[in-house]
Amino acid sequence: MSNPFLNVIPIYVDVRQTLQGVMLRRAKLTVSGLTPAVSAAWQASHAYSVGAQILDANGNVQQVSAAGTSGAAAPAWSKTVGASTTDGTVTWIDIGTNANAIPHGLPDTPLIVDLVPTSAGGFHRTQPADSANIYVTADGAGTSVELHVEY
């Protein structure tokens, strides 16, 4: 889940170490504006309004696109981002993993070495980083964190 108010400040340390002939670079990214994780579970025969979000059985966030009442049993959730699932009279859209996509701006895919919370709440890695983003979930009230990465 991306957040338009996310603030990422890269502070490059660029300490280069030779580990078995490999050059290693380190960076610290200070991130603020994270949104807490979605933790609401799906409920049977429940009225849902447009925009409501739940965490499905696959670990993806589903968001209501058409309001209604959920069915008596959980549906077979879509596993494709952007795809819909019909549940009773509710229509859900799979909006992806329960993570903040944090654009890192680094020249290579980073490996998170450490997460240092700078606000209340906890944080955890949600999925491996890719060439554009680091994926971190804020637990509870967490909104800012320092990411120590190697790339």
Give dist(CA 4, CA 143) in Å, integer. Answer: 14
Residues 73, 129: Cα–Cα separation, whole Å: 35
Q: How far apart are CA 74 and CA 54, in angstroms?
A: 12
pLDDT, residue 2, reads 45
Tell me what pLDDT residue 19 has: 54
Walk along the chain (151 residues) in steps of 10 and give the mean pLDDT of each run: 53 57 76 77 97 86 94 94 94 82 85 87 80 80 83 80
Q: Taking a C-beta distance cutoff of 8 angstroms, is the pair 134, 127 a contact?
A: no
Tell me which long-range contacts 80-87 makes (C-beta under 8 A, separation of at least 24): 87/42
Confidence at residue 59, expressed as pLDDT on a 0 to 100 scale: 75
Predicted pLDDT at 14: 57
Confidence (pLDDT) at 11? 63
pLDDT of residue 3: 45
Domains in the chain: boundaries: 7-37+100-150, 47-97
pLDDT at position 42: 96
Q: Kindly list the distances between the CA atom of residue 24 and the CA atoms of 28, 34, 108, 111, 134, in Å, as whole numbers in the listed order.
A: 14, 28, 11, 11, 18
